Structures are given as structure tokens and as C-alpha cells.
Amino acid sequence: MSNRRPFTAAEKRAIAEKCDGRCVDCGSDAGPLDHDHARPVWGGGETSVANGVLRCRDCHAAKTAREATARAKADRIRKRLAGRRVGNHQARNRRARRRACAIELPF
């Protein structure tokens, strides 16, 4: 169900160029810088140059912590919908994805 995949080397280069080699949050260019999803995969974000950003380790960890509540809510919605015996799997998964994507993210 997850569409998570790593960024390709070409995507990483394009993301680094787009972000001018700096963390999008604090502007630091001191490595290591992670290639991160601006909108997280669990929240419907794609693995693409458009959704990719550079983040230093500290800002990446801070973002993950800020997302925890929204992510837990998305997980609860997915679980609830998965347990419902209505419609077929694909319709249910689509609905769960839509609901998860509609959650307001704290950034």
C-alpha cells in the first residue's frame, strides 16, 4: 500500500540544486543534509523533485516530532477504514488516502 521509494541520485541532485544546497528550515549548508519529503509520504506526498527538500538532521528530527500528532491521526483513520466491511479494498484504500491527505499538517 505504501508508495515509499528512495529518491534517485538524479532527483537528489535536482533537489539539492533547487534548495541551493541549504536546509529549507534553518538555511544551514553544513552537512549531512537529508533529502526529505516536504509533504510526507504517509500524508500523500510523492517522491519527486517537486516534493523534495533538503533538511539538516536537527530540522528533520524537529519536523518528524511536529508531525507525530497528525501522523497518529492519519494512522487511526486508516485503521478504522480498513476495519470497515463496506466497498472493496481499492475504494477503501482510496478513501483512507483522501482522508489522510486532508489532515492539516503542522507546517
**Among 17, 90, 10, 82, which residue's Cα sits nearest to residue 47?**
10
The only residue of 19, 23, 33, 100 in contact with Zn ion, by rule CB under 5 A: 23
Does position 61 interact with Zn ion (CB under 5 A)? The reply is: no
Count interface residues toward Zn ion (CB under 5 A): 6
Residue 59 Cα distances to 64, 79, 89, 96, angstroms: 9, 29, 37, 29
> Between 56 and 70, whose beta carbon lies closer to Zn ion?
56
Identify which of residues 27 and 87 has a Cβ nearer to Zn ion in the complex.
27
Alpha-carbon distance 51 to 45, whole Å?
7
The reply on whether position 56 binds Zn ion by CB under 5 A is: yes
Q: What are phi and psi of 37, to 5 degrees?
A: -85, 120
**25 is an interface residue for Zn ion by CB under 5 A:** yes
By the rule CB under 5 A, 54 interacts with Zn ion? no
| Least distance from Zn ion to the Cβ atom of residue 7, Å | 18
